[in-house]
Amino acid sequence: MRTFTSETIKAIRGRLVFKKLLINEKCLLDQFEESIKGTPYESEMRSIYTYMEFVANNTLLPRTKLNVIKKCYGKQKCYEFKSKNLRVYAFSITGGKVIVLGGNKSNQVKDIRQLKSILKDIIESNQLNKL
Amino acid sequence: MKREELIRSVEYWLTKFQIKLFNKVNDYIKKNNLNRDKFAKQLGVSKGYVSQILNGNADHRMSKFIELSLAIGLVPTISFESIDDFIQRDLQSDRSALLMDIKKSKQIVRDAGYLLSEKPVNEYIYHDTPSEDWSNIDTTSDNNFFSMAS
């Protein structure tokens, strides 16, 4: 069974807490950030972090920057933060959001499938309230 | 991503600027029952220009930005601050927010009728009776360090 934990993202300040998901102590977001280090995508990632900070402060974002994926698992909604080439996926918890993974636009379908599978595992193993 | 790296980046400030502008223009359009077409006509600009703003991608000349601000009944006010001062202030505001949260949490616990210490935690750690030595605790005298919530 996969174990899910979370860590607060300290780069984001706001009324809502933003956390990153750890699966068996490994963070998919950190892995993605590592993979784009030194590429032009690094600057897009900084824009996405800024979008997340706006959400953390309950500020409206254009639909081109934040997309809601309805019924990700059951009634649970998921969120897709968007830049020109990157996507970052999250879901809501009480008082904040948990970032699950990041990816390239070209891998969107595969990444959303992975997001849904992870969320399903979290909910079915009753680990949502531990995050 | 480190907080400081984010604050020192162009993308952080550009994105802040773009999203704030989007929100101001979006509010104006909603308040005045306009759509993108009507707003573009009113401003005498192209639809593409309005779309860029409403998609959070505005990156225009300063004169255009000022024109736009005035057209929606606002004046742009700009201030500058040293990065180091800003980072210091950002760090402090986070600490004070944490302290505020701790105070609020304490009040909630007190309101719920729990006993709560008024003494800083570090005083307990260094000067108090070891918790296992229960015989030394005077239960008859008033204990100023504890209060009962109403």
CB B116 within 8 A of CB B110: yes
The ranges assigned to domains in chain B are 3-71, 83-131
Cβ contact B56–A62 (<8 Å): yes
Cβ contact A64–B16 (<8 Å): no
Q: For the range B100-108, what are the long-range contacts, defined as Cβ-Cβ under 8 Å and sequence gap of 24 or more? A: none
Cα gap B97→B86, rounded to integer Å: 16
User: Mean pLDDT, to the nearest integer, of A108-118?
Assistant: 96
Cα gap A23→A1, rounded to integer Å: 10
**Which residues form the domain of A18?**
4-130
- Chain A positions touching B25 (Cβ under 8 A) are none
Candidate from A39-43, B120-124, B146-150 with smallest mean pLDDT: B146-150
CB A5 within 8 A of CB A130: yes
User: Mean pLDDT, to the nearest integer, of B9-29?
Assistant: 96
CB B22 within 8 A of CB A62: yes
Partner-chain residue, chosen from A13, A46, A61, that has the shortest CB–CB distance to B56:
A61
Mean of pLDDT over chain B: 78
CATH number for the domain formed by residue range(s) B3-71: 1.10.260
Residue A63 is which amino acid? R
The shortest C-alpha distance from B1 to chain A (Å) reads 6
The shortest C-alpha distance from A105 to chain B (Å) reads 18
Look at chain A and report how many structural domains it folds into: 1
A64 reaches B (C-beta below 8 A): yes
The model's confidence at residue A48, banded by pLDDT at 50, 70 and 90, is very high
pLDDT at B106: 72
Cα gap A32→B61, rounded to integer Å: 35
**Residue with the larger pLDDT of the pair B130 and A57:** A57
ipTM beyond cut 0.90: yes
